[in-house]
Amino acid sequence: MATTSPALQRGRPGQLVLAAILAIFVYGVIAAMLGTILPRLGEKFYLTPAEMGNIALAQAIGLVIASVSVGPLIDNKGKKTGLLIGLALIAAALYALPNASGYDMLMAYLLLLGLGGGIIVTAANALVSDISEERRASTLNLLNVFFGLGGLATPFLAANLLGGDAVKLCYLAAILTTGTLLLHIFTPMPPPSGERGFKLSEAGQLLSRPSLYLLSLFLFLYVTCECGVWNWLATYLISRGIVEATALNILSLGFALGLLLGRVVVSRILIKVAAPAVTLGAAALMAITTFLMLQTGSPTMAWIAVFCGGLAMAPVFPTTLAMVGDAFPKGTATAMGIVITCGWIGLAVSSPIIGAIAHHTSLQTALLVLPAASVLMILVNLAVRPALRKH
């Protein structure tokens, strides 16, 4: 029988799950935002591929700063504090983004968007990680189904209802975030119990664990791949002659739908199959599908490859966080914050690299970074298993 943490038993698990679902849905919406509006931004402000990469880097820097700093805050002050701060920052960035007048302002607003996103990812996953400790991997995958749903909604609405209008899309997402913020204000959440809080005296023990660094590297490589698809796929498909609306639908009804359905399916698989085995299989499939999605200019074949890529990537992020939760029962949010931070560093490093390679060769060549990172994930997964078994 699955257990629930004492702190959450004193709260209302149903309300907490709803709050976490809406927060992670908002993050899914903003995760797909840059890739959805980037083609229009490039046209409006005459951005080069390198400048597009730097805009993605600004968002990644915000994610890194938030994730590395918010873990101890959440462990000691509670998840609600983190969720409210993160949602407020996202709403502010989305209301401001349509009024950007140039490259520098875009960088500033994407940095702010990244700050908010990094906070709510850590807070929402840490909250749900406590709800069912014996089925943590399955529960986190179910939560992140709604990340996939948010990621599906953004390019789908942009392509089919908003005519690619970036301004309307930003305001719609801002209104959604504001509503979610209001719900979180009035949702009772348990305070930190003190049992799992981060203590400075325990930092040495936390940082001495090899598994922390290996899991961090694993997520670094994974985020390189996932955000590479979110941020660059639509631009790449358009460069291959696929019209913008079709490219956005491939991102939405291909990649995001694959993430969504994959997490529904894998949440059941993880009840019986160990998390390291699931993530190993996912990494192998990622190497194949990310390579194949770069080999065609046919919309149908691109959709198939991108959908399969979404299915392959589906379990990796939440299942890796579940592995962190299992390995670090104390200071959970701090450990998650460190691992997630390394994931965002993957975005920060990869986006300028992809942009620079594309500037000097082609975007197709630059995106070969994705299958290469997937192959490295296989090696890291094999290396982390002995460290996890010790604990």
Please state, as a whole number, how many other Cβ atoms lie within 10 Å of the Cβ of residue 177: 29
Among 29-38, 59-68, 81-90, 329-338, the least confident range: 329-338
Average of per-residue pLDDT values in the chain: 84
Mean pLDDT of all residues in 169-185: 93
Kindly report the pTM of this predicted structure: 0.74
Number of domains in the chain: 1
Q: For position 61, which CATH number holds?
A: 1.20.1250.20
Question: Which among 153, 86, 114 has a CA at the least distance from the CA of 351?
Answer: 114
pLDDT surpassing 50 at residue 3: no
Q: 């490039």: which residue's tokens? A: 42
Q: Specify if 195 maps to a domain.
A: no
Q: Specify if 199 maps to a domain.
A: no
Q: Specify if 196 maps to a domain.
A: no
pLDDT surpassing 90 at residue 51: no
Q: Output DSSP code: residue 192.
A: P
Q: Specify if 1 maps to a domain.
A: no
Q: What is the pLDDT of residues 88-127, one digit of tens each?
A: 999 999 999 888 888 889 999 999 999 999 888 888 877 7
- If you write DSSP's letter for every residue of 128-183 in order, what string do you get? HHTT-GGGHHHHHHHHTHHHHHHHHHHHHHHHHTSTT-HHHHHHHHHHHHHHHHHH
Mean pLDDT of all residues in 303-322: 92
Banded pLDDT at 7 (limits 50, 70, 90): very low
Print the domain residue range for 287: 10-189+205-389
Q: Specify if 227 maps to a domain.
A: yes
Q: Specify if 3 maps to a domain.
A: no
Q: Do the Cβ atoms of 29 and 176 come closer than 8 Å?
A: yes
Q: Specify if 2 maps to a domain.
A: no
Q: Specify if 99 maps to a domain.
A: yes
